[in-house]
Amino acid sequence: MVFLTQPSIGIICSSKMEVPKPLTDFAFEFGNLIGKLHFNVIYNENNSGLIEALKNGVKNAKGDLNSLNKDISKTKKSQFIYENSDILCILPGSLDTLSEFIKFININKNSNTKKTIIIVDILNYFSNLLNWLEEISLINMTESPAEMFCIARSISDLEKFLT
């Protein structure tokens, strides 16, 4: 992927305090990668959970972070992240994370300029959802997941999508 200016990546993920250590370790490593690749990171302002681990990884690599103002409505946050990101990345999270993922897919469907959406299925976190999406695509209820987003299961997968 070639960018003429510093690329931006929108991140949606859990901000819950109690997240399993393998997930926070992965988020830190991913943050370190996107910091080294000089991505500008756009995220909802939260200071815990996966987003905190990711932010620490970005800071460790001396990368750039841009949080959204807490006063912006959820609808406007989604739109802002979408409009200001070159790539959108969904890490494990709650129903709010899943909701953002679906919003991004729908915005992308109706947009003239498609954005790369990456869902990070670390530890098979999203495997049931991904299997269901594949199943309903086989009966023509939705597009194939491969037409809507990319799936990353490791840091090396993410690096391939981002470079």
- Please check whether residue 151 is in contact with residue 134, taking contact to mean a CB–CB distance below 8 angstroms: no
Among candidate residues 106, 47, 48, the one with its CA nearest the CA of residue 82: 106
Q: What is the pTM of this model?
A: 0.89
Q: Are 50 and 74 in contact (CB under 8 A)?
A: no
CA-to-CA distance for 150 and 12, rounded, in angstroms?
15
**pLDDT tens digits for range 72-112:** 666 678 888 898 899 999 999 989 899 999 999 999 999 88
- Given a contact cutoff of 8 angstroms between Cβ atoms, the answer to whether 75 and 40 are in contact is no
β 87-90/116-120 pair status: parallel
